[in-house]
Structure 1
């Protein structure tokens, strides 16, 4: 695994822990739909399914440009692809639950020094 892959996995581990601490149950990680794409985390939140996109960014220090905020990674095209993948996951796993399907974002910011910041934004798409 390269450094970028290791950073992404670390961010996904932190995201899964944040979701679990918030009372969600992680159902799947890195679920692939062939060549169509991948869902970083699929979780259950009460009676809803949550598809969670995880974006991890590294800080470049105080004297350089600040973090690129992970929320900037959810473009309309990315949101549409996530909705399509979520629909496919639901179809392959017994249909939509009573609470429906929600798409969340977990942004993980890794500063050069100090603890990571993990931000969970619900219902981004």
Structure 2
């Protein structure tokens, strides 16, 4: 379990670096409520973006995006609504994104970003 926790943290750090390099501002990480957790909440211009990060060391058991099931996406929508209801920030438009991180132990990571999940 410690390996998965470390891998997840590494993936989130790489995802944050990627988002910031694209000009986004990270405003919250690992936000939790009774419904679950949002990995990253960011601003992209006037949009509030809720980002699901999936990290794997390889694609041997499927691409990280394959772990984002319709049920996981529905949960992310509910979490985004919960975050907006409790936040005092001006929300603007809402967008759901996903970042996949393939992070092999002995090689540079590969990061893919899908904007506007539906």
TM-score, length basis structure 1: 0.87
1:94 alignment partner, SS class: coil
Answer whether contact 1:58 1:67 (CA < 8 A) is retained.
Answer: no
Q: 1:35-54 counterparts in 2 under 5 A?
A: 36-54=35-53
**Secondary structure, aligned partner of 1:11:** helix
d(CA) in 2 for partners of 1:87, 1:21: 27
Query: Within 2, Cα distance between the matches of 1:96 and 1:83?
Result: 18
Is 1:103 paired with 2:96? yes
> SS at the partner of 2:88?
coil
Which residue does 1:9 correspond to in 2?
A: 9
RMSD over aligned CA atoms reads 1.7
Cα deviation, residue 74, structure 1: 1.4
Evaluate the alpha carbon distance shift between residue 95 and residue 83 of structure 1 in structure 2; reply closer, same or farther with a 3 A threshold: farther
- Report deviation, 1:110: 1.5
Is there any run of 5+ residues in structure 1 with no aligned partner, and where? Answer: 60-64
Q: Distance in 1 between matches of 2:86 and 2:117?
A: 23
- The answer on whether the counterparts of 1:70 and 1:107 sit within 8 Å (CA) in structure 2 is yes
Q: Distance in 1 between matches of 2:61 and 2:23?
A: 28
The TM-score, its normalising length taken from structure 2, stands at: 0.92
Contact persistence 1:67–1:109 (CA under 8 A) = no
Unaligned 5+ residue runs, structure 2? none
